């Protein structure tokens, strides 16, 4: 609630930060953006169960950090400012050797345009597996579900025995003008002063926690970027039930759980997704993804290099979105047109009322 009040106060003082086609105009003051990143976008302690949070917000000139000297990158002007959010989430009460403490390190970079953000994300994947300027991690995520416009990941197979060098997993996400990197890290068995650095592989539940952090932060940052609290509220009628929507018919956002409930569809939020069934088919809304999954889907594990990374293997249907699936701390929101298409319905507007109807 504190976060939503902070967001509303700041937005109503005239802060407008426009997104994609919603935006080609006025830019938000950097100081206000930094404040929003810290007070609304950043995760609070125990927002991920059991994890405390430490937060730093800063701004960086990319040229001063040497980005202009990196080869094989088609960016001519690196003399730009990146507004950065850094978080360290720490859990210390598992009682399990090798998992106490567990750290999740989060780095979020807000860049002036999509192209620079993409290359900042690609450079965050740099490894010995590919030349500089090419993704050095395989495409995918830790759950296999899509996140952002593109994502790359590395992770040891959780079923591997303890070994050197497997105590860290990486997830990099690019979406619009945002580049995110999340690392899940264990201490070596025997502690940081152990003579031989033997690590447990990152447990699947900790990979899922790290990915959930990325999804929530991406969704919250997008809320800020589209000026969420300044979007007008509209009356949405679903199966005779009156609900609140946000935006306009051209860029309308609707609350997934409430709409599906009004349609008589049973479903629930499970971690970073909302999943239910409609007319006999599964419908999945992954927070932070630019798509809705319709029908059954499956993921595959990339075994190359003892990997625990996953990617989508097959899905019956997929509906693309212009804006990622959003989350305001209470409800999951999605573009109205995308939800209507996924369900085989249509939206009709009369004045300030929009109805979700059969085709």
Using H for helix, E for strand and C for coil, what is the string for 88-127? EEEECCCCCCCCCCEEEEEEEEECCCHHHHHHHHHHCCCC
| Residue 323 pLDDT greater than 80, yes or no | yes
Q: Residue 158 to residues 128, 162, 226: CA-CA distances in angstroms?
A: 22, 10, 38
Determine the Cα–Cα distance for residues 295 and 298; give it in Å rounded to an integer.
10
Q: Compute the Cα dihedral for 95, 90, 39, 213 and give only its sign.
A: negative
Give me the chain's average pLDDT, please: 88
Looking at residue 183, its pLDDT comes to 97
State how far the Cα of 88 lies from the Cα of 105, in Å rounded to an integer. Answer: 5
Query: What pLDDT digit, counting tens, does each position of 115-160 carry?
Result: 999 999 999 998 877 888 899 999 999 999 999 999 999 998 888 8
Q: What is the pLDDT of residue 23?
A: 39
SS3 content of the chain, % helix, strand, coil (to 5): 20, 40, 40
Please give the average per-residue pLDDT across 230-247, as a whole number: 94
Task: Dump pLDDT digits (tens) for 110-121.
Answer: 999 999 999 999
Beta strand extents in 209-304 (DSSP E only): 233-238, 241-248, 251-255, 267-270, 273-278, 281-286, 291-301
Reported as a pLDDT band with limits 50, 70 and 90, residue 192 is low
pLDDT (mean) for 220-245: 93
Residue 61 has pLDDT above 90, yes or no: yes
Q: Is the dihedral of CA 134, 137, 138, 144 positive or negative?
A: negative
Do β-strands 281-286 and 310-320 pair in parallel, antiparallel, or remain unpaired?
unpaired
Neighbours of 309 (CB within 10 A): 28
Give pLDDT, residue 306.
55
pLDDT value, residue 251: 85
- The maximal CA–CA distance of the chain, rounded, in angstroms, is 71
Helix (H, G, I), strand (E, B) or coil at 12: helix
Domains of the chain: 2-228 (3.40.1000), 231-358 (3.30.457.10)
Q: Could you tell me the pLDDT band of residue 305, with boundaries at 50, 70 and 90? A: low
Rounded-to-integer distance, Cα 251 and Cα 231, Å: 10
Task: List pLDDT tens digits, range 275-289.
Answer: 999 999 999 999 999
Q: Above 70 in pLDDT, residue 171? A: yes
Whether the per-residue pLDDT at 4 is higher than 60: the answer is no
DSSP letter (8 states) at residue 289: B
Pairing of strands 233-238, 353-358: parallel
At 182, give phi and psi (nearest 5°): -125, 130
First and final C-alpha spacing in the chain:
38
CB neighbours (10 Å) of residue 344? Answer: 12
- 103 DSSP β-pair partners: 90, 185
158 DSSP 8-state letter: T
Question: Given a cut of 70, is residue 274 above it in pLDDT?
Answer: yes
- Residue 15 β-bridge partners: none
pLDDT reading at 8 higher than 80: no
Q: What is the pLDDT of residue 26?
A: 35
The gap from C-alpha 272 to its chain's centroid, in whole angstroms, comes to 9
How far apart, in whole angstroms, are the C-alpha atoms of residue 44 and residue 104? 13
pLDDT at 15 over 60: no
Confidence of residue 3 (pLDDT cuts 50, 70, 90): very low
Q: Does the pLDDT value for residue 336 go beyond 80?
A: yes
Residue range 252-256: mean pLDDT, rounded: 96
Q: What is the mean pLDDT of residues 315-325?
A: 96
As a whole number, mean pLDDT of residues 36-63 equals 96
């Amino acid at each position: 609630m504190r976060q939503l009040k902070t967001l509303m106060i700041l937005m109503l003082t005239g802060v407008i930060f426009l997104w994609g086609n919603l935006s080609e105009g006025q830019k938000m003051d950097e100081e206000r953006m930094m404040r929003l990143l810290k007070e609304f976008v950043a995760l609070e302690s125990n927002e991920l169960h059991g994890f405390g949070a430490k937060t730093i917000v800063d701004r960086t000139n990319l040229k001063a950090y040497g980005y202009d000297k990196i080869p094989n990158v088609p960016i001519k002007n690196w003399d730009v400012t990146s507004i950065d959010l850094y978080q360290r989430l720490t859990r210390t009460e598992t009682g399990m050797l090798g998992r106490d403490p567990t750290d999740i390190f989060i780095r979020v970079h807000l860049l002036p345009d999509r192209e620079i953000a993409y290359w900042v994300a690609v450079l965050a994947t740099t490894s010995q597996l590919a030349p500089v300027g090419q993704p050095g991690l395989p495409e995918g995520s830790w759950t296999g579900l899509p996140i952002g416009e593109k994502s790359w990941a590395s992770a040891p197979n959780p079923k591997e025995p303890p070994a050197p060098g497997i105590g860290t997993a990486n997830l990099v996400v690019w979406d619009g003008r945002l580049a995110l990197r999340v690392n899940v890290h264990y201490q070596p068995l025997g502690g940081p002063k152990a003579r031989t650095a033997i690590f447990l592989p990152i447990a699947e539940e900790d990979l899922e926690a790290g990915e959930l952090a990325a999804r929530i932060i991406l969704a919250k940052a997008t809320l800020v970027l589209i000026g969420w609290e300044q979007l007008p509220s509209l009356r949405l009628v679903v199966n005779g039930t009156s609900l609140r929507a946000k935006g306009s018919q051209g860029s309308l956002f609707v609350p997934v759980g409430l709409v599906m409930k009004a349609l008589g569809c049973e479903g629930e939020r499970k971690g970073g997704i909302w999943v239910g069934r409609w007319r006999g088919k599964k419908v999945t809304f992954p927070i932070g993804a630019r798509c809705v999954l319709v029908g059954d889907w499956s993921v595959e594990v990339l075994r190359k290099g003892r990997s625990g990374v996953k990617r989508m293997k097959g899905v019956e249907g997929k509906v693309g979105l212009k804006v990622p699936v959003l989350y305001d701390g209470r409800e999951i929101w999605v573009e109205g047109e995308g939800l209507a298409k996924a369900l085989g319905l249509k939206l009709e507007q009369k004045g300030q009322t929009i109805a979700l109807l059969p085709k």
